[in-house]
Structure 1
């Protein structure tokens, strides 16, 4: 995350604002092309992600595959697109345009890499079996939902428009179904799912708080609890102290401290643990 912060300061001005709008636009174009296909103009066949044809000069397929529709257009699809627009817009405002761009484009790039990995093992059978049509933005769009669930796990959504349920439970259902698909599906399906959702996997691993399983941190917490029970805690005159790592402004004058509104009680955290700590209930 520190690396991404440095990159954002350097390249953040180049980030695409309102990226979700462009994602939705690709769906609209895709369904229009699908309509043309039904009308006798099979355009989509020239847009699929096929490494064999790319290596033969059809380089536009490196990008044009994002116009492959994941399913047929209907009312449910329209509702899903509207939901993706809402979730994606909130994520962009929460993370910032640069990090949101990195998240989406990393998923797209990993999808292309996955296609080339699959082609390396299958050769021309990849083209013959039509595996290129399996690569669409379906899972990349799904990553918007999963990223939102990781950021706001306790936010409620209305299942079937009237059943309130926390978004983290819907995400768990999705993950279980994805794992089932990976186990029972063919290698093409496995590569598509794993590579397309690699952005979610990386984001999940980067946002975990690993300090709580650090032996040194565990030892420090034990000593702190003993000191509290004996009334021996002394901050040395410091005004701020992180409830996780115990650092104060005297340890580093550049540290910033904030109180967490989601924790019950007056718990203060440093900038490194403000967004990664476990909320006190």
Structure 2
């Protein structure tokens, strides 16, 4: 995670806030295109063969391909994934969440090209979408909040970690039953989860449990500073304090003249005080 920490210090100010919202907007555009001009969607798929022939827009436009047909169930799932993604973004911070999604997207593009060359130019464009990247968001949320309880089908209470186990079983079955296109799509789309949760060790420091532990320790060490009406931290831009969110982090800026403290959303985006 040292590599990600360096990237965050250098490029964190370029992170896109509310990225989950833009992902959902892409799906909405995709569903509108499917209703109004379904032929146009064929021009947007991730097709390495056509990309190599000059249709480079496909490197990006494939994210507009909606994950499945439009139905009431799909709308409910989109709201569900929006809440999960937004919670992850607040827990991890904008930059790390951006990197998580970007890793899955880039890995999918690379996987499609590898499959294209290995298969001798076969067309597997229909196998690649953001469907499995959505599942990676769910798995990331389950890994961060394993004991959170949700209502399955709005009735059955169940801990989210058990739903994650069911998803892993579903992915394993899909991997076994799919062709090479589906298998590569599954591996590539879940590469971000593999990187962030199995290839790194420092991610625990931004887990909800670790953040809560640090806050309890801070209150125990200095209780007079965390009493009613008194806060330890305050962002110089938005005025938020630790009381405005359990997962907010604050840092002092070494480039500003004076002791100016900023929250995680404004640490890299503020104008330095000279």
Equivalence for 1:12: 12
Is 1:202 matched up with 2:195?
yes
Equivalence for 1:113: 110
TM-superposed CA distance for 1:184, in Å, is 2.5
Equivalence for 2:32: 32
TM-superposed CA distance for 1:191, in Å, is 0.3
Q: Greater CA radius of gyration, 1 or 2?
A: 1
Instruction: Select 1:44's aligned residue among 20, 41, 45.
Output: 41
**1:46–1:152 distance in 2 versus 1, CA, 3 Å:** same
Q: What TM-score do you get using the length of structure 2 for normalisation?
A: 0.72
Instruction: Select 2:51's aligned residue among 47, 51, 54.
Output: 54
Equivalent residues of 1:36, 1:42 under 8 A apart: no
Residues of 1 paired with 2:89 and 2:67: CA distance? 23
CA RMSD for the aligned pairs?
A: 1.8
Is 1:83 matched up with 2:80?
yes
Residues of 2 paired with 1:204 and 1:259: CA distance? 21
Structure 2: state its 5+ residue gaps: 203-212, 217-274
Is 1:100 matched up with 2:97?
yes
Is 1:149 matched up with 2:138?
no
Describe the SS at the equivalent of 1:42. helix
Greater relative contact order (CA < 8 Å, ≥ 6 in sequence): 2
Pairs within 5 Å for 1:172-187: 172-187=165-180
Structure 1: state its 5+ residue gaps: 210-257, 262-281
Residues of 2 paired with 1:208 and 1:9: CA distance? 19
100-109 vs 175-184, greater mean Cα deviation: 175-184
Residues of 2 paired with 1:77 and 1:207: CA distance? 33
- Measured against aligned partners, the alpha-carbon deviations of 1:45-72 in whole angstroms (never above 9, x if no partner) come to 1011010100000000000111112211
Describe the SS at the equivalent of 2:151. strand
- Measured against aligned partners, the alpha-carbon deviations of 1:191-245 in whole angstroms (never above 9, x if no partner) come to 0000111001111214559xxxxxxxxxxxxxxxxxxxxxxxxxxxxxxxxxxxx
Equivalence for 1:227: none
Residues of 2 paired with 1:114 and 1:56: CA distance? 18
Equivalent residues of 1:143, 1:200 under 8 A apart: yes
TM-superposed CA distance for 1:259, in Å, is 5.9
- Measured against aligned partners, the alpha-carbon deviations of 1:92-122 in whole angstroms (never above 9, x if no partner) come to 0100000000000000000001100110122
Residues of 2 paired with 1:259 and 1:121: CA distance? 49
Equivalence for 2:60: 63
Residues of 2 paired with 1:16 and 1:51: CA distance? 27
TM-superposed CA distance for 1:260, in Å, is 8.6
TM-superposed CA distance for 1:167, in Å, is 0.5
Residues of 2 paired with 1:208 and 1:135: CA distance? 30
TM-superposed CA distance for 1:124, in Å, is 3.3
Equivalent residues of 2:175, 2:186 under 8 A apart: yes
Equivalent residues of 2:149, 2:158 under 8 A apart: yes
